[in-house]
Amino acid sequence: MSNVHLRKLSITLGGNAVIRELDLQVEEGEFLVLLGPSGCGKSTLLHSIAGLTDISGGAIEIGGRDMSRVDPSERGIGMVFQSYALYPTMTVEKNISFGLRIAGMPKAQIAQHIERVAEMLHLKELLKRKPAQLSGGQRQRVAIGRALAREASVYLFDEPLSNLDAKLRTDLRRELKMLHQTLGSTMIYVTHDQVEAMTLATRIVVMRAGEIQQIGTPTEVYERPANLFVAGFLGAPSMNFVPGELDGQGRFRAAACAGLELGVAVPGARKAVLGVRPEHVAIGAGLPYTGKVTLVEPMGSHQVVWIGCGGLLMSCIAQDTQRYAGGDAVSFGIDASRACLFDPDSGKAL
Sites of contact with another protein (CB under 8 A): 47, 50-52, 71-74, 77-79, 81-83, 85-90, 98-99, 102-103, 143, 146, 150, 158
SS3 62: strand
Q: Closer CB to another protein, residue 96 or residue 172?
A: 96
Centre a 10 Å sphere on the Cβ of residue 57 and count the other Cβ atoms it contains: 15
**Given the complex with another protein, which of 86 and 257 has the nearer CB atom?**
86
Cβ 85 to another protein, closest distance in Å?
Answer: 4
* Least Å from the CB of residue 22 to another protein: 21
Considering the complex, state which of residue 12 and residue 170 has its C-beta at the smaller distance from another protein. 12
Phi-psi region of 171 (alpha: psi -120 to 50; beta: other; left: phi over 0): alpha
SS3 of residue 35 by DSSP: strand
- State the minimum distance, in angstroms, from the CB of residue 112 to another protein: 18
Q: Which residues does 153 contact at the CB level (< 8 Å), separation at least 6?
A: 1, 2, 62, 63, 76, 77, 185, 186
Least distance in angstroms from the C-beta of 184 to another protein: 22
Residue among 160 and 218 whose Cβ is closer to another protein? 160
Beta-bridge mates of residue 298: 303
Q: Which of 329, 279, 334 is nearest to 307 (CA)?
A: 329
Distance CA 141, CA 126 (A): 11
**H or E stretch at 139:** helix 136-149
Q: How far is the CB of 78 from another protein (least distance, A)?
A: 7
Q: Which residue, 53 or 227, is less far from another protein as judged by CB? A: 53
For another protein, the closer of residues 86 and 307 by Cβ is: 86
Beta carbon of residue 35, minimum distance to another protein (angstroms, whole number): 21
Q: Which amino acid is at 5?
A: H
